[in-house]
């Protein structure tokens, strides 16, 4: 992490290059979710594309990127403005561009070129509890933008499952939606050279979103035979640890002595938790992709995940799949994996091989192809 001046000098544009603007608001939280996607994509674009010129709009002066001659990082701050205002105004301050890309689901009122949005999933459409409350800011944005689907020239999404959901629920044509699967930083998410000697544990990292379905894991862990459960702890990480119902479920099942809620962890800590876990469990009801599954596999951790949405597409044959609506299904999978070192070894080897199939440089090349297709 380093500080940059307001503008990093940019070489003169080549006649054959295009100017691509990426509005990276979510770099304010670059270790999870959309922030991680934006960070990894931008860094990979710098590695694979030295022809086109990029202007990266960021809301603060610190960023994790390598300085490159064809990339300029512009800090645009409005102390009183929140995201909805920032994303409308910031692109207007950088002059004409060929492509504007929001690496998340949003839209602009005024375009000065072609517009691309990455829509990771349609979860708010399928789960009303996740829909943002309508407030003055959102009403103003809706009034300014109008029909967003008329302004979006192309949508990038992150799995074939998400593409099918998009085409089923929003007015987009098939040729307007391109899948660019996510990647894995193999230098960071890799197996440990040595395993620790602490008590073995079942690991899960998740946000506070109720569709992460962590309550099912608590129920399933509590139903393990005592002779097996007593040998393992349950470790939960992420914002899910802030949920009072999760803490109440732990107390209700009487497994507090075997459960650790470690909260939000750093990248380095997350890798260590993956590396040392006996199994990683991801019982989510719905994912646009499911990056934690790949991260765990890359770290050599056996994976149990749900058979819902995009997760079978990501996990392939390298994970134990369960029904996310039945605690018994997860309990049976835990018994199978925790009770057999051979099963663990097989899942570990298959997971490492599967994770190697997903690389950010490929994601970046597919994204550049979308930009160039739009320009023609």
pLDDT in tens, 124-175: 888 776 655 555 555 555 645 556 778 899 999 999 999 999 999 999 999 9
pLDDT in tens, 196-207: 778 999 999 999
Residue 30, token pair as written in the block = 């670059």
> Using an 8 Å Cβ cutoff, are 2 and 62 in contact?
yes
Range with the poorest average pLDDT among 25-39, 60-74, 189-203, 305-319:
25-39
Q: What CATH number was assigned to the domain covering residues 201-355?
A: 3.40.50.2000
> Using an 8 Å Cβ cutoff, are 166 and 119 in contact?
yes
pLDDT in tens, 297-322: 999 999 999 999 999 999 999 999 99
Averaged pLDDT, 11-38: 71
Left, alpha or beta for 250 (phi > 0: left; psi -120 to 50: alpha)?
alpha
First to last CA, the chain: 36
> Using an 8 Å Cβ cutoff, are 85 and 51 in contact?
no
Report the C-alpha gap between 52 and 92 in whole angstroms.
Answer: 20
**Domain edges within the chain:** 2-183+359-375, 201-355
> Using an 8 Å Cβ cutoff, are 299 and 275 in contact?
yes
Range with the poorest average pLDDT among 6-20, 92-106, 228-242, 303-317:
6-20
Q: Locate all alpha helices (DSSP H) within 25-135, ordered by sequence.
A: 33-48, 83-89, 123-126
Determine the pLDDT at residue 64: 67
Report the C-alpha gap between 138 and 68 in whole angstroms.
Answer: 36
DSSP-based helix, strand, coil % in the chain, nearest 5: 45, 15, 40
The listed CATH number (3.40.50.2000, 2.40.10.120, 2.60.40.10, 2.40.50.200) that belongs to domain 2-183+359-375: 3.40.50.2000
User: Could you check whether 2-183+359-375 and 201-355 share the same CATH topology?
Assistant: yes
With a cut of 60, say whether residue 8 has pLDDT above it. Answer: no
- Going by pLDDT thresholds of 50, 70 and 90, the confidence category of residue 13 is very low
**How many distinct helices (H) and strands (E) make up the chain?**
15, 15
Residue 103, token pair as written in the block = 């690496």
pLDDT in tens, 92-127: 888 889 999 999 888 888 888 999 999 999 888 887
């Amino acid at each position: 992490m380093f500080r940059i001046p307001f503008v990093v000098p940019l070489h003169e544009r080549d006649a054959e290059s295009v100017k691509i603007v990426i509005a990276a608001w979510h770099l304010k939280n670059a270790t999870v979710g959309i922030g991680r996607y934006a960070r990894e994509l931008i860094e990979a674009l710098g590695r694979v594309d030295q022809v086109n010129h990029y202007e990266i709009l960021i809301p603060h002066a610190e960023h994790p990127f390598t300085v490159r001659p064809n990339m300029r990082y512009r800090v645009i701050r409005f102390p009183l403005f929140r995201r909805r205002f920032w994303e409308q105004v910031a692109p207007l301050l950088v002059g004409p561009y060929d492509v504007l890309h929001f690496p998340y689901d949003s839209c602009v009122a005024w375009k000065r070129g072609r517009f691309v949005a990455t829509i990771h999933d349609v979860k708010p459409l399928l789960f009303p509890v996740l829909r943002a409350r309508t407030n003055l800011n959102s009403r103003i944005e809706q009034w300014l933008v109008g029909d967003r689907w008329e302004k979006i020239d192309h949508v990038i999404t992150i799995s074939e499952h998400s593409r099918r959901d998009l085409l089923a629920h929003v007015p987009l044509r098939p040729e307007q939606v391109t899948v660019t699967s996510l990647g894995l930083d193999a230098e960071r998410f890799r197996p440990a050279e040595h395993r620790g000697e602490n008590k073995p544990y079942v690991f899960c990292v998740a946000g506070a979103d109720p569709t992460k379905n962590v309550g099912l894991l608590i129920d399933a862990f509590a139903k393990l035979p005592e002779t097996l459960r007593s040998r393992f702890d349950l470790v939960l990480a992420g914002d899910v640890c802030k949920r009072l119902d999760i803490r109440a479920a732990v107390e209700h099942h009487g497994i507090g002595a075997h459960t650790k809620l470690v909260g939000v962890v750093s990248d380095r800590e997350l890798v260590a938790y993956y590396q040392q876990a006996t199994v990683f469990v991801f019982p989510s009801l719905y994912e646009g992709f499911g990056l934690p599954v790949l991260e765990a596999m890359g770290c050599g951790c056996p994976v149990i995940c749900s058979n819902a949405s995009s997760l079978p597409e990501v996990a392939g044959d390298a994970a134990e799949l369960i029904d996310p609506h039945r605690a018994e299904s997860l309990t049976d999978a835990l018994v199978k994996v925790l009770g057999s070192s051979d099963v663990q070894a097989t899942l570990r080897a298959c997971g490492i091989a599967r994770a190697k199939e997903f690389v950010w440089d490929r994601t970046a090349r597919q994204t550049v192809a979308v930009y160039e297709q739009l320009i023609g």
